[in-house]
A and B are shown apart, each in its own frame.
Chain A
Amino acid sequence: MQTLIKGGRIIDPARGIDAAGDLLIDSGTIAGIEPGGSIEPDGDHCQFIDARGKWVCPGLVDMHVHFRQPGEEYKETIATGSRAAAAGGFTAVCTMPNTSPVNDCAEVTRFIIEQAEAAGLVRVYPAAAISRGLEGRQLCEFGELAAAGAVAVTDDGRPVSDPLLMRRALEYSSAFGLRVISHCEELELSAGGAMNEGALATAMGLPGIPCAAESIMVMRDISLARLTEVAVHIAHVSTAESVAAIRRAKEEGIPVTAETAPHYFSLTEKAVEGYDTHAKMNPPLRCEQDRLAVCEALADGTIDAIATDHAPHSELEKLVEFQLAANGVVGLETSLPLGLKLVAGGLLSPLQLIERMSAAPARILGLPSGLRKGMAADIVIIDPEVEFTVSAAGFRSKGRNTPFEGWSLRGRAVLTMVGGKTVYRDAGFGQ
């Protein structure tokens, strides 16, 4: 069975391609690709997809999601999270280990992979914990976790406060090819904080979280990466200070990579005005100068990847007093359209945006990504022009906690394919 995607704009950051052309899929793998040319099907049964006016890209990769299973299935399951991912144009995600129980042993890692296979939508790569129970005391069995299918280790949701543990995690991880992802937060500085520290927090009477709570640990981890010569990946970068530290480290050749989330390049702390718990997350939304620094870092490559930090919560956690509300926003179904705003604003080229959302996170996690003959057909077709209004009620995710409700956005995924199988198709697209 062949599928021919005809007349699209083929964008493949792995090879730096951005050109009109055709792409042929046969039995789940890419059988032919002709940027700047056309392909004629050689089989009898060929399905055609008219991609004129659309972008044909490698499937997006979200290296930072919380799917809540096991333990908090009322917020999200691996199946509902996978549906949301597919609808957002993602073909692969990396799940954070702060579930209940924590993904700190091979059994939980295998359970996640089994659930993902049963859902049969997107590829789910678990990140396991650095420390047992995320308690920061005992190293997890990285070898067992890697053998079970984990691709990274992190105590995300919490920092690794002990610098010796972080050093050892970097050293030990290198024996098993696991990427170490760091949630940078100095807990003594952020304790009790509910939003960014500054004039707005003062006016709202909310305890603040200073930028230094993040950047101090970013600088620590850069020093440890220099010491150990093992790469560290900095999660959800939110401040100008962190950006500057990462830029300097990269100039010095220290192995560090970084991600930011769409809310940090789209919003500032102003979004929490009126005590809107849907704009509460950790790290918190910062000031305009931080937002601009994050944008600039995405453009010059200081920040490698866009990851959503998709963190679904229910009304139980969000329809409460602001300081008591849980941190986190959903992101899978708004990430690409918000990224496309950066393209529309001239900050990123289409090729750069797709790179930040596919090739870069794949490279950091050691996953395949690209549109090359013989590769699995993990593909997203994007309509860059379609206009729509964000409505959480229509999300595939169980989470409705978005700060982007009611936003008018342009461009989104219209077809997502994993291994040649269509896992999402926009109702208005083709066929």
Chain B
Amino acid sequence: MQFARKDILDMESLSVEEIRLILDTAESMKEISRRPIKKVPTLRGKTVILFFYEPSTRTRMSFDIAAKRLSADSLSISASTSSLVKGETLLDTARNLEAMHPDIVILRHSRAGAPHFLARHLKSSVINAGDGIHAHPTQALLDMMTVREKKGTLEGLKIAIVGDIAHSRVARSNCAGFTKMGSQVVVCGPPTMMPTGIESLGVSVAPDIDTAIEGADIIMMLRIQKERQKGFLMATEREYSRFFGLTPERLEKARPDVLIMHPGPMNRGVEIAPEVADGPYSIILDQVTNGVAVRMALLFLVAGGARHADVD
């Protein structure tokens, strides 16, 4: 199939076929990172701008490495080093970037919908690298790639997502993505961190973590932030970890072939016990490895790779 999409904004807008193509392409990209010379000329002459309004280590590095392994020219700007500090609007900054003819703009932004806004106004492709609490589609795709790799399929799996669902773009994108591919998603967290109407995303809400992880093929733990005490969302980290953290004892009641995921960065000892994070069920670092492959696939596909493959 051809990949005709200009932008990657959220999981809701991708079709099942497109998701499959992205995951298949990512799998074939993965091998490049294992070569002694980790570089192919596929995106030679393409310019990729990493536009990060919000701090990020993992996602930015991952995109940067992905672009470089495909021979694209990538450059990175952050809010603190851009004209934003001089009061320029997002749109003006983006229009100025566009005047330099980049092929792909990767945007991380603290506000929901910012990539959609840019995509409407720019001719370049826009890839959402996380917008507020809305979406993080490349994270969901790398999670789905990792699960598919380990389990052979996404259909019929039970995925438990535990933590601050309300403030998690990772949770939203994974809910949308996994359910679209036929998995059953169960979310769990303190009621203060459960957004209104989450069921409308096609997921169910478990009353407690033990119910959530019972029979789960995958347990995905979300980062809990200490700042959440401010909005009265939780009492203490101590209590949070007791009632909503993933401990070795809890894990004993899970399926023997359960796999543990975390989008990072982890708060060891809060949402996840260190021995669980480092234990045999953990595929947390596989997620990171696959992140590069998924992002290579996305850069390749939106740059018109599939369309121009015969020319290359």
Report A's interface with B, CB cutoff 8 A.
194, 197-208, 274-275, 316, 319-324
Query: B117 contacts A275, CB within 8 Å?
Result: yes
Q: Does B135 contact A (CB under 8 A)?
A: yes
Q: What 8 additional pairs, Cβ within 8 angstroms, besides A321-B111, A321-B117, A324-B111? A: A199-B198, A200-B197, A202-B201, A206-B132, A320-B89, A321-B113, A322-B111, A322-B112
* Residues of chain B from 39 to 97 with CB closer than 8 A to chain A in the complex: 89-91
A199 touches B112 (CB 8 A): no
Q: In the complex, what distance in Å separates the CA atom of A267 from the CA atom of B253?
A: 49
In the complex, what residues of B have CB within 8 A of residue A201's CB?
195-197
**11 A-B residue pairings within 8 Å (CB atoms):** A197-B196, A199-B199, A201-B195, A203-B197, A205-B134, A205-B169, A208-B196, A319-B91, A320-B89, A320-B91, A323-B113
B200 interface hit (Cβ, 8 Å) = yes
Is A320 within 8 A of B133, CB to CB? no
Please determine whether B111 and A198 come into contact, CB atoms closer than 8 angstroms.
no
Interface flags for B190-228 (1: CB within 8 Å of A; 0: not) read 000001111111000000000000000000000000000
Say yes or no: is B172 at the interface (Cβ < 8 Å to chain A): yes
Question: Which residues of the other chain, A, contact B201 by a CB distance below 8 angstroms?
Answer: 202-203
CA distance A203 to B202 in the complex (A): 11
CA distance A238 to B166 in the complex (A): 25
The 8 Å CB contact of A322, one of B12, B117, B166, B197, is B117
Instruction: Enumerate chain B interface residues (CB-CB to A < 8 A).
Output: 12, 89-91, 109, 111-114, 116-117, 131-135, 166, 169, 172, 195-201
Known: A321-B114, A321-B117, A324-B111. A205 touches B132 (CB 8 A): yes
| A203 B117 Cβ-Cβ under 8 A | no
Contacts of B90 in A (CB 8 A): 320-321
Contact partners of B166 in chain A: CB under 8 A: 202
Give the distance in Å from the alpha carbon of A94 to the alpha carbon of B89 in the complex.
34
Q: How far is the CA of A204 from the CA of B109 in the complex (A)?
A: 14
| Contact status of A199 and B133, CB under 8 A, knowing A204-B113, A323-B111 | no
Task: Let me know if A275 and B12 touch, CB within 8 A.
Answer: no
Question: Once bound together, how far apart are the Cα atoms of A201 and B113, in whole Å?
Answer: 12
> Measured between C-beta atoms, what is the minimum distance from B113 to chain A in Å?
3
Q: Which B residues lie within 8 Å of A205 (CB)? A: 112-113, 131-135, 169, 172
Give bound CA distance, A205 to B115, whole Å: 13
**Closest 10 A/B residue pairs (Cβ):** A205-B134, A199-B197, A275-B113, A199-B200, A205-B112, A202-B195, A321-B111, A323-B111, A322-B113, A205-B133
Interface pair B200/A204, CB less than 8 Å apart: no
Most-contacted residue by chain B among A206, A316, A321, A323 (CB, 10 A): A321
Closest to A207 in B: B133
Q: Is the CB of A202 within 8 A of B200?
A: yes
The listed residue (A198, A274, A322) touching B196 by CB distance below 8 A is: A198
Q: Which chain B positions have C-beta within 8 A of A194?
A: 112
Residues of chain A with a CB closer than 8 A to B112's CB: 194, 204-206, 275, 322-323
List the B side residues contacting A199 at CB < 8 Å: 196-200
Contacts of B133 in A (CB 8 A): 205, 207
Chain A residues within 8 Å of B91, by CB: 319-320
CA distance A285 to B116 in the complex (A): 21
B135: which A residues are within 8 A, CB to CB? Answer: 205
List the B side residues contacting A200 at CB < 8 Å. 197
Collect the chain B residues with CB atoms within 8 Å of residue A316's CB.
89
Contact of B113 among A198, A202, A206 (CB under 8 A): A206
Docked pose: A321 CA to B120 CA in angstroms: 12
Residue among A197, A275, A323 with the most chain B CB within 10 A? A275
Bound-complex Cα distance A205 to B197 (A): 12
Who on chain B is nearest to A275 by CB? B113
Residues of A within 8 A of B109 (CB): 321
